[in-house]
Amino acid sequence: MKTLINIKADADIKEIAVRTAKQMGVPLSTIMNAFLRQFVAEKSVTFSVPLRPTKWLQKILLETEKDCREGKNIEGPFHTAEEMIKSLKS
């Protein structure tokens, strides 16, 4: 037996989801049923968000890339942990 579920979704994401499902050759309801089955089977929900570094980390990464290009502040390679620790302490 089928039932109807009404959900609120952003109009733009719904439009994109319908289009994507159609490109895959399945209706959006099939996709939603698959997600619901997975939710019931695993009893968990996974939300994934693209990782975005903080402004502070972005600055550090840019400085590191610049140092690598210029060959500055480079240590290693280290062949043992002891070599690395000795370098850190010096």
- Quick one: pLDDT at residue 48? 84
3-class secondary structure for 30-68? HHHHHHHHHHHHHCCCCCCCCCCCCHHHHHHHHHHHHHH
Do 30 and 18 touch, CB atoms closer than 8 A?
A: no
Mapped onto helix, strand or coil, the DSSP state of residue 20 is helix
Quote the pTM value: 0.51
- For residue 32, the model assigns a pLDDT of 95
**What's the pLDDT tens digit per position in 6-58?**
999 999 999 999 999 999 999 999 999 999 999 999 999 988 878 889 999 99
Residue matched to tokens 């039932």: 3
The answer, yes or no, to whether residue 78 has pLDDT greater than 90, is: yes
pLDDT confidence tier of residue 61, bands split at 50, 70 and 90: very high
Cα atoms in the 13 Å half-sphere on the side-chain side of 47: 1
